[in-house]
Amino acid sequence: MMRPLIEGKTLPVLIVSAALIIIWYCASIGMNWQRQIDTYNRTDVVGWSTSELLYDVLNQKKPLLPTPHQVAGEFWNTTIGQAVTSKRSLVYHGWITLSATLLGFVFGTLFGISLAVLIVHSAAMDRSLMPWIIASQTVPILAIAPMVVVVLNAVGVSGLIPKALISTYLSFFPVVVGMVKGLRSPEGIQLDLMHTYSASKFQTFWKLRWPTALPYLFTSMKIGVAASLVGAIVAELPAGGGSGLGARLLAGSYYGQTVQIWSALVTAALLAGALIFCVSAVERLTNLSMGARA
Amino acid sequence: MNTSPTAVVSAKGLGLTFPTNDGPVEALHNVDLTVRPGEFVSFIGPSGCGKTTFLRVIADLEQPTEGTILVNGTTPKKARQDRAYGYVFQASALYPWRTIEKNVGLPLEIMGYTKAEQQARIERTLNLVNLTGFEKKFPWQLSGGMQQRASIARALAFDADLLLMDEPFGALDEIVRDHLNEQLLKLWAETKKTICFVTHSIPEAVYLSTKIVVMSPRPGRVTDVIESTLPAERPLDIRESPEFLAIAHRVREGLRAGHSYEEQ
């Protein structure tokens, strides 16, 4: 009963989680302590004991750094405690962000694979495209995203598409880089073998290059899906007061609702974790069907 | 020099020079050679004598810079496009994501055989190399010798009359190699194919071949061509017969004449 707990991943993960929560509590107390004393002085509260102070520090209405139980409480109230259609529900906002993330991720992956195929099969493409692809990622996305969203809005494109576009922009890059490497990874004799069969480029691609590149694709997709989520959130920031986790973050910072900000952050982190888990699951299934050692 | 269409391979004045950063390297120099149908020809020599390069020229994997070479009476490129030969590499080059039967079926898929025909040929060739029962295994589940047998099956699966083998058993231990050599001779007798076989083992070359081509390095050239006098039926212990030792001696002489034993 205890053995899998000790030998598996569960126990280490639990220990690290516990350590993080303790550090978080300590940081909360440290950052909110003086503010609570100032509040006492300002509102003429006298004769407070240390335990009263500690209780108030841990339960401030607008703390500098909210405590884990405050964030958990807010998270609970805005997910389970709300109808999912409510504008106060994190499930609602999360879904808005997730749909843009997924659309952008699918486009980004397809776009990245297409570019990699072009680059691998044409020396001219390799020389002309690669520098631009790398340059594209040196542009600060935080500066570009609002402009893209506003410009597209002006020409009547709004909602999902502009956000998905930013996600695509961020997620295609790891896929291009990974797939160029992956599609070039077959060994010399594996390619020679295809040559001795007089296989067409198309056959060489599907029967050799593609299967060899799959491990690279999944690694790239894990990076890409996380970048995609960041892209969707960043794209939501300029649409203040709108929907999505990004809008929720911005609204929270406007009104000093730190608890709201942190619960939106936690939601984003959980989403990212779930997305990467999904990609890993598909990867594992693919590996099994391709004869990986169990 | 026999250049009649009955020759499977005929090379005349063949030369190949690789440009390298240290200047040009002459991998093959003035090679004249004829391989006739049904022969088992071994190419033997130290590293750098051009034996693998010669095999790769036959297979249209390298382009000669001098002389002419005909495969089945036509250019190597045309012969390759006609699927005239099966190539067995030093490593098995099995695709790790394909089962053994899918690996053997790979050339058949590419060449557009029907599903039923593919299945029949996979069964037949796996039986030929004694791998029946391993159809659904992945390459990593097989020993090195079995992997190399699977790669031979892959080269036999389609109707090429010529088998090009580049040190196929070089990475295997001697006991496994003996066993595979015996099986290869049996296979050759059954299938009546022409085989070009690169090796750097003198006993292997003498045991297998009807013709031994001795090569030497710098520049890569042919120093001797020995027609074997051994009978077609060859048990493993023929290797202790005086006739066998005499041929092995002549191979060694050929290598010495080409300065193959000098310090390099």
pLDDT above 90: percentage of residues in chain B: 67
Distance CA A199, CA A193 (A): 9
Mean pLDDT of A84-110: 91
- Residue B236 — very low, low, confident or very high, per pLDDT cuts 50/70/90? confident
Residues of B in contact with A197 (CB under 8 A): 83, 106-107, 110-111
Mean pLDDT of A185-208: 94
Q: Does residue B3 register a pLDDT over 50?
A: no
Distance CA B6, CA A130 (A): 52
CB A173 within 8 Å of CB A180 = no
Tens digits of residue pLDDT in B170-225: 888 888 888 889 989 998 998 889 999 999 899 999 999 999 999 998 888 899 99
In total, how many domains does chain A have? 1
- Is the Cβ of A294 closer than 8 Å to some Cβ of chain B? no
Query: CA triplet A115, A119, A125: central angle to 5 degrees?
Result: 105
| Shortest CA gap A288–chain B (Å) | 9
Q: Which residues pair with A177 in a beta bridge?
A: none
Residues of B in contact with A199 (CB under 8 A): 110
Interface test with B, best of A189, A194, A197 (most B CBs within 10 A): A197
Residues on chain B bordering chain A, Cβ-to-Cβ distance under 8 angstroms:
59-61, 80-81, 83, 85-87, 89-91, 93, 95-99, 106-107, 109-111, 138-140
Residue A155's domain spans which residues?
100-243
SS3 A65: coil
Q: Does residue A239 register a pLDDT over 80?
A: no
| Per-residue confidence (pLDDT) for residue B1, from 0 to 100 | 43
Backbone angles phi, psi at A148, to 5 degrees: -60, -45
CB B43 within 8 Å of CB B213 = yes
Q: Does residue A293 register a pLDDT over 80?
A: no
Across the interface, which of B80, B91, B109 has its CB nearest the CB of A189? Answer: B91
- Residue B264 — very low, low, confident or very high, per pLDDT cuts 50/70/90? low
Mean pLDDT of A21-37: 92
Q: Does residue B263 register a pLDDT over 70?
A: no
**What fold does the segment set B1-81+194-264 form as a domain?**
Rossmann fold (3.40.50)
In a domain, A239, yes or no: yes
Across the interface, which of B85, B110, B139 has its CB nearest the CB of A199? Answer: B110
Mean pLDDT of A181-205: 94
Between B209 and B4, name the one with better pLDDT: B209
Q: Does residue A241 register a pLDDT over 60?
A: no
CATH number of residue A117's parent domain = 1.10.3720.10
In a domain, A58, yes or no: no
In a domain, A264, yes or no: no
In a domain, A6, yes or no: no
Angle between helices A160-183 and A141-154 (to 10 degrees): 130
Mean pLDDT of B119-145: 93
Token reading at A120: 């691998």
In a domain, A48, yes or no: no
CB-CB under 8 Å, A192 with B95: no
- Residue A3 — very low, low, confident or very high, per pLDDT cuts 50/70/90? low
Lowest mean pLDDT among A222-231, B45-54, B100-109: B45-54
Tens digits of residue pLDDT in B33-73: 999 999 999 999 988 889 999 999 999 999 999 999 999 99
| Per-residue confidence (pLDDT) for residue B257, from 0 to 100 | 83
Q: ipTM beyond 0.85?
A: yes
| Per-residue confidence (pLDDT) for residue B128, from 0 to 100 | 86
The domain segmentation of chain B, as residue ranges, is: 1-81+194-264
Q: Does residue A193 register a pLDDT over 60?
A: yes
The secondary structure element, H or E, covering residue A214 is helix A210-236
Tens digits of residue pLDDT in A122-164: 999 989 998 899 998 888 888 888 888 888 888 888 788 888 9
Mean pLDDT of A152-179: 90
In a domain, A265, yes or no: no
Residues of A in contact with B60 (CB under 8 A): 195
Dihedral, A68, A71, A73, A78 alpha carbons, nearest 10: -160
SS3 A245: helix
In a domain, A3, yes or no: no
**Do strands B221-227 and B40-44 pair parallel, antiparallel, or not at all (unpaired)?**
unpaired
Mean pLDDT of A59-86: 87
Q: In what order do the strands lie in the sheet with B23-35?
A: B23-35, B9-20, B66-71
- Residue B2 — very low, low, confident or very high, per pLDDT cuts 50/70/90? very low
Tens digits of residue pLDDT in A244-272: 898 888 888 888 889 999 999 999 999 99
| Shortest CA gap A163–chain B (Å) | 38
Distance CA A42, CA A34 (A): 12
In a domain, A210, yes or no: yes
Number of C-beta neighbours around residue A142 at 10 A: 10
CB B100 within 8 Å of CB B136 = yes
- Is the Cβ of A240 closer than 8 Å to some Cβ of chain B? no
| Shortest CA gap A33–chain B (Å) | 60
